[in-house]
């Protein structure tokens, strides 16, 4: 679970990255889930988009993908969403520490 400070940090990084996962009229399928899982393993932070003909909203899509690939939903704005999962072996993104 991400804190608000960590979420804000990740949102800042996500501003500069390109969208790499597109969900179209087929909705969520095994290919989209696998593509998202592979991208999170390689990049840790990814941006996705629901196209106009997608049967799901971007919030529904992000909330459906997150438990399947074991990631956190960082942000959902309009048709785009941002997902984060740290790489267990070699993390590239260092999150700010929580004050617990």
User: Which CATH number characterizes residue 34's domain?
Assistant: 3.30.110.60
pLDDT at residue 86 tops 80: yes
What's residue 72's pLDDT?
Answer: 96
Residue 90: inside a domain: no
Taking the C-alpha atoms of residue 66 and residue 33, their distance in angstroms, rounded to an integer, is 9
Q: Is 41 within the bounds of a domain? A: yes
Domain, as residue range, for 46: 4-84
- Banded pLDDT at 94 (limits 50, 70, 90): confident
Single out the residue of 49, 51, 53 nearest to residue 62, CA to CA: 49
R_g of the chain, CA atoms, integer Å: 13
- How many domains, the chain? 1
The mean pLDDT value of the chain amounts to: 93
Dig out the tokens for 57 from the structure.
Answer: 């909203």
Question: Which is nearest to 81 in space by CA: 52, 55, 60?
Answer: 60
| pTM as predicted | 0.93
51 within domain boundaries = yes
Look at residue 98 and tell me if it is in a domain.
no
**Does any domain span residue 56?**
yes
Is 93 a member of any domain?
no
DSSP label of 72: E
| 96, 11 contact by CB (below 8 A) | no
């Amino acid at each position: 679970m991400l804190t608000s400070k960590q979420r804000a940090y990740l949102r800042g990084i996500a501003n500069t990255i390109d969208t790499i996962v597109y969900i179209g009229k087929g909705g969520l399928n095994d290919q989209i889930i696998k593509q998202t899982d592979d991208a999170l393993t390689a990049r840790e932070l990814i941006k996705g988009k629901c196209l106009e003909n997608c049967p799901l909203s971007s919030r529904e899509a992000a909330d459906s993908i997150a438990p399947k690939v074991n990631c956190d939903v960082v942000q959902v704005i309009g048709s785009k969403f941002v997902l984060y999962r740290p790489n267990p072996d070699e993390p590239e993104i260092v999150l700010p520490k929580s004050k617990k």
